[in-house]
Every structure is written in C-alpha cells, then in structure tokens.
Amino acid sequence: MKTADLYIRVSTDEQADKGYSQRNQEEVLKRYYDINHITVKRVIFEDHSAKTFNRPKWHFLLSELRRHKGQTDLVLFTKWDRFSRNAGDAYQMINTLRRLGAEPQAIEQPLDLSVPENKMMLAFYLAAPEVENDRRALNVLHGMRRARKEGRWMGPAPYGYANKITEDGKKYITPDEPEASIIQWAFNEVLSAGKDSVRSIWEKARQKGLPCSRSAFWMILRNPVYCGKIYIGKFKDEEIQWVKGKHLPLITEFLFYQVQDELDGKKRVYVPKKGTLHYPMRGQLICPHCGRLLTGSSSQGRSKKYFYYHCILPCKARFQTDHTHDLFAKELRKYIPRPGMTDLYTEVVSRLYQAQTKGQRDDVKLIREELEEVNTWLVKARNKLVNDELDAADYKAIKAECERKINQLESRLINSQRQDNNIEPLLKKAFETLAQLDQLWQDATAERKKMIIGALFPEKLVFDGNSFQTARLNEGARLIYLLNKELDENKNGQKDDISTLSIPVTRIGFKLRMEKAMRLERSVDRS
C-alpha cells in the first residue's frame, strides 16, 4: 500500500473562490485516497501564494521528507496550480521530490510523468496559472497607472492624509488632522531653517504628533503629493510624469520647489555648533586688535564657571560673555521703533518697499519670456524629430527637461502674480515684535540669538569691549536707526520740532514728516 502526504494550499485572495477552499480540497483528496487505498501520513495546510516555494508549511514538509527519505511515495494535491504558479521553480521542485522518493501528483489533472509526451501537458498545466498571474498583474498595473493619470492617489494614504471612499465606491485621500497641519509647519520650517536642521525639525514634528521615522520624514519633504501633484513612474515608452491630483494640497507648488532647492543645498545655512548655548555670538565677533574671529571658552572659578569670548594666542583680547550680551542688548535698543510711531515707520518702509518692488511686473514679464523660450525649444525639438533630425531618445530627454522647467516657471509666475503689495498689516505686526527686540534677545534660545544677529547684521561685528561696529546693517534696521536719530535731534531742538509725531496728527502734517524722512533716506543713500 502506498503512503502519501496531502498538500492543501489556498492564498488569501482565493479564500472565497469556488473550489479553492481548504475544506473542499480536503474532501476531494479524502475521496481519492479512500478509493485508491492510500495511507495518509500527514496533511499540510498552507495559506501562502504559490508564486515561489518560500512558504512556511512547504519548508516543513520538505524537511520531513528529507528526514524520512523514501518513506513517502506521493505528495498529493488537487491541481497543479495548488503546487506552484511558477513553471521554472516547479520543475526544480519536482526533481527535488523525486530524489527524495516522493512523486508529486495532481488528482484532478493526473499525469504519468514516466511517459515523455505527458511532459507537454505538465508544461501547459504549470504555465497556465503563471500566465494568469502575469495577466492579472499587468491589468492591475495598467489600472493603477490609468487612475494616477486621472489624478487619483493609489495605495495607503501618505502621512497627513486619510483614505476615504465616495458613495459610488471611488477611493480618494483627504487631509487628516493633526498630521496635515504638522506637515505644513514642517515645510515652512525647513524653508527658514535649512537643510542641516532637518533632523531637529523632524524631532520637533514627532513631538507635535507626526509618527514617522527620519527617513520617512525626508520622503515627505520630497513627495510632490503635498503640493497637489501625482507622480507617475517611467513605463516602457512613457516618460516620468507629474499630473495634477484630485486631492486637496497641503502646500503651494512654489513652497514645494523652494524646499527642494533648500534641500539640494542651493542656499547657505547656519549649522549650530557644540557649545552654542553659552556662546551664541561666537563666530560673529571680530577681534579689535588682530581682526580674527573671537572664539569662546570657560574657566572654572571657586564656585562656578566663567565664560569668555576671546581671541587666540598671542592676541590677548578677552571679554566676559555676560557683559558682552548685556551690551549687545543695549545695542539692540537703537533699532527698536519708538512708542506711538508705528504709522510713521510703516509709511516710510511701505514707500521704500513699493519703490524696490516696482520691477515686479518686469519679473513677471521675464518669467513669461522664459516660458515662451522653453516652449519654443520644445516645438523645435518636435519639428526635428518629425524631420528625422533628432533621435527619439534625445527628444524624450529634451521633452522631460522642458516640462520640468515649465512646471517650475509656471509655479513662479503664479506666485509672483499673487504677491500682495499691501504690506502695511504685516509691517505693523513686525514693528510690534521689534518693540520687544531687546527682551526677545534676552529670552531667546542660542539658535534664535544667532538668527537675530544674522538678521540685523549681515556682516561680522567688531567688538572692543564697550561697543559694536559693523560695516553694513540690515536695510530695515538702518532705516529705523535713522528715523530714531532724526527724532532725537528734533527732540533736542537741533531741527524742526516734530513733537507732534508722538500724538495723532493731521494728514498734511504727517505727509510733511514723511517727505522729510524720505529726503533723509535719499541723502544717506547718496553718501
């Protein structure tokens, strides 16, 4: 009497298919071995795909056959697609089983493999399920690409979005709070902090509630889905594409491209150094004696440490950090707008802004001209392709580059056209913040102090222990300083009395003061 092991396999997506359930297969195999008087040693139930033989239960069966070689005559299953859906792997496994003395056999597709002609039928039985798998996979691939071209996101929703289904059964993604707001914050923060601060931004995002790894955070920053674009990969003759998605974007295209430039290292960024906590001005101060940058170090006293900014030997310049920071806070007060003068500062800066942004329309014109030029390149390349003057592969490369450039230029154009010239509300808010500049400096973290220094003083500061000097000031800070100085001179009686500026004034008086301030600014520029 022959002995056999029964192999019953069904994958998850086949559970509901008629004739594939494990119970049905077991009943069919039971009738077979009862009729043919076969002794069953073990019954193996498998729930993995047959694309490969990397299946837990099959490995167990194979190890048992090796341990008890020659004691099992048959390995029975219902059909050959229960055994394998990969013809190449199946032939190798059949040879392996034969060396172990076990003959694989499908009871509903029986084949005597000792007859050479039956190997042709075996090839058909093994190839048919593989072809079915490949066709199904290809149909799924084409369906997914077609959905992406229509602007639909496929698969699990990315961070910041949630999968939803419409009433007619169509799937879509929608912003999911609070992750969506955290991702919006992260993009804006990267733009201001720079590439080397991405790790710290990721850590802050995790604290805010964004559950992703560091590598996943980088993928978020690189994913165009957040600006409303769907990425379609290259397939056969189709090039890479970005199509407009049907989902709601979290950020603008302009912001997305700015962040990409930031991550690509196109902007210089500040990298916090070890010890910045006690020496926020290290790297910003110039020695008054030798012109080298001051560094920082500490010395241990009897009860505490003392911190200093100092030059390197043989120069002996040395300044206590606390004293230096207090003097700098006093220096900052020069650039604090005077109380009650917000309207004056706002008017002056608004006029300067309008004058400096007068060329904005020219920028829009230049962008449009560049767009027209890129489109002309594309038309010329297409004509050369038609006239067999350009290879198809070269044309595809030119087309992809032109389309990428067009997307960026259109994004810049939209952003330029949306810019609002009315900055008075923003200025009022900014001056309210500047009114507390010295206190902001005292309370700021070391990194924020660095940012304040860099914002006000684009170039290094010379510090002699009592005062600070710099070759160039931030334009806004310079204007505030000039206006403050003008107000002081008027207060001291050196020029016209402008005490009325501290209280509400008529429109005419206000315009006269403004014209005076503008003349002062122009005179400084000429000097």
Q: How confident is the model at residue 456 (pLDDT cuts 50, 70, 90)?
A: confident
Burial class from Cβ neighbours inside 10 Å (0-12, 13-18, 19+) for residue 25 reads: buried
- CA 49 → CA 58, 61, 65, 261, distances in Å? 11, 16, 21, 44
Question: 239 and 396 in contact (C-beta within 8 Å)?
Answer: yes
Cβ atoms within 10 Å, residue 437: 20
- Please check the confidence at residue 473 and state whether its pLDDT lies above 80: no
* Portion of the chain with pLDDT greater than 70, in percent: 78
Mean pLDDT of 395-404: 83
Distance CA 128, CA 80 (A): 10
Selection from 446, 144, 413, 462 nearest residue 311 by Cα? 462
- Please report, for the chain, how many H helices and E strands are present, in that order: 18, 14
User: Which pLDDT score, from 0 to 100, does residue 301 have?
Assistant: 80
**R_g over Cα of the chain:** 38
Beta-bridged to residue 469, according to DSSP, are: 462
The residue type of 90 is A
- Rounded to whole angstroms, how far apart are CA atoms 408 and 489? 50
**Helix, strand, coil share of the chain (percent; to 5):** 55, 15, 35
Distance from C-alpha of 75 to C-alpha of 98, rounded to nearest angstrom: 10
pLDDT in tens, 263-276: 776 444 444 454 55
Tokens of 333: 């007060």
Highest mean pLDDT range out of 191-205, 294-308, 420-434?
294-308
Q: What is the mean pLDDT of residues 442-446?
A: 79
Q: Mean pLDDT across the stretch 457-484?
A: 76
Q: Does domain 3-134 have CATH number 3.40.50.1390?
A: yes
Q: Label the pairing between strands 241-244 and 229-232.
A: antiparallel
pLDDT at 70 over 70: yes
Q: Residue 318: in which H helix or E strand, if any? A: strand 318-320
So what's the architecture of 175-263 in CATH? Alpha-Beta Complex (3.90)
Residue 133 has pLDDT above 60, yes or no: yes
The 3-class secondary structure across 420-466, one letter per residue, is CCCCHHHHHHHHHHHCCHHHHHHHCCHHHHHHHHHHHCCCCEEECCC
Terminal Cα-to-Cα distance of the chain (whole angstroms): 113
* Two structure tokens written together for 298: 């500490």
Burial of 136 (0-12, 13-18, 19+ CB in 10 A): exposed
Burial 490-508 (b: 16+ CB within 10 A, else e): beeeeeeebeebeeebeee
Q: What is the pLDDT of residue 389?
A: 84
pLDDT top residue among 361 and 134:
134
